[in-house]
């Protein structure tokens, strides 16, 4: 079965992911090598210091370069963004412009520093005001206490492949998938050395065919804008 990578920084020079076209092409080659056929392209969007129109224009330019290269390799690229939450984001940014493809889903990253209840107010506004369905990026990155609070929201949650490295961590995150705490997986690929895609492959191997299939089925349904 073909694989969907739900979180990837593959557009050249759009963020600190791929620093050049050469690196982007290496990333595409690695994706293909590990049987990925669809990549959700989630360049960072830091809305408190980045103009939305500039971002969209630069993303479009980068996509125009990358799409033919992806097509040559049999890869589909879905335009999206990794949107970092900040105070009043739902009022300040037209989040609809940053949706995953044509769906109503939005990949949302929590703040890097500890956060207060304002985060949950924003999540509520993103759902009710912007009419979007947040997917929480790399749930594995946040402290346990925050993970518990986030899970209470019954959203969709994405896990990073590198979380599965090591025996104990691997078991923990395999259980997250088994218990349906997380519904989609991404490489979160940044560089071109292939390590992130090797982690992606290793995580799916650790999960086994049954859980890989359910993650990919979820990803496919989300991309078709269906509920999971």
Q: What does the binding site for Fe ion look like in residue numbers (CB under 5 A)? A: 82, 188
3 or 209, CB closer to Fe ion?
3
Instruction: Give the shortest CB-10-to-Fe ion separation in angstroms.
Output: 11
By the 10 Å C-beta count (0-12 exposed, 13-18 middle, 19+ buried), 221 is classed as middle
- Residues 176 and 37: their CA atoms lie apart, in Å, by 25
162 or 188, CB closer to Fe ion?
188
Q: Which residue is nearest to Fe ion (CB)?
A: 188
Q: Pick from 163, 132, 131: which is nearest to 147 by CA?
A: 163
Q: Pick from 175, 192, 184, 178: which is nearest to 155 by CA?
A: 184
Residue 39 tokens, joined: 């990549």
152 or 203, CB closer to Fe ion?
203
Instruction: Give the shortest CB-143-to-Fe ion separation in angstroms.
Output: 18
**Between the CA atoms of 204, 206, 138 and 72, what dihedral angle is there, to the nearest 10 degrees?**
-20
- Match 């690929």 to its residue by tokens: 189
Instruction: Give the shortest CB-82-to-Fe ion separation in angstroms.
Output: 5
Instruction: Give the shortest CB-72-to-Fe ion separation in angstroms.
Output: 25
Instruction: Give the shortest CB-179-to-Fe ion separation in angstroms.
Output: 24
- DSSP symbols for 76-122: EEEEEEEEE--TTHHHHS-GGGGSSTTSSEEEEEPPSS---THHHHH
113 or 128, CB closer to Fe ion?
113
46 or 48, CB closer to Fe ion?
46
Instruction: Give the shortest CB-109-to-Fe ion separation in angstroms.
Output: 7
26 or 84, CB closer to Fe ion?
84
């Amino acid at each position: 079965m073909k694989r969907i990578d739900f979180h990837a920084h593959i557009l050249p020079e759009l963020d600190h992911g791929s620093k050049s076209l050469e690196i982007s092409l290496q990333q595409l080659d690695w994706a293909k090598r590990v049987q990925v056929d669809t990549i959700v392209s989630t360049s960072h969007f830091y809305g408190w210091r980045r103009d939305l129109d500039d971002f969209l224009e630069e993303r479009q330019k980068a996509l125009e370069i990358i799409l033919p290269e992806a097509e040559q390799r049999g890869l589909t690229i879905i335009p999206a963004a990794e949107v970092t939450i900040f105070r009043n984001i739902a009022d300040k940014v037209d989040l609809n412009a940053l949706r995953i493809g044509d769906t109503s889903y939005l990949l949302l990253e929590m703040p890097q520093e500890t956060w207060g209840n304002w985060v949950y107010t924003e999540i509520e506004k993103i759902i009710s005001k912007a009419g979007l369905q947040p997917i929480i990026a790399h749930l594995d990155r946040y402290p346990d206490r925050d993970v518990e609070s986030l899970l209470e929201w019954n959203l969709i949650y994405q896990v990073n492949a590198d979380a599965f490295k090591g025996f104990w961590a691997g078991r923990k995150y395999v259980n997250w998938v088994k218990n349906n705490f997380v519904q989609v997986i991404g490489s979160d690929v940044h560089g071109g050395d292939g390590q992130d895609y090797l982690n992606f492959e290793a995580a799916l191997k650790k999960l086994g065919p049954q859980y890989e299939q359910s993650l990919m089925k979820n990803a496919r349904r989300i991309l078709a804008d269906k509920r999971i």
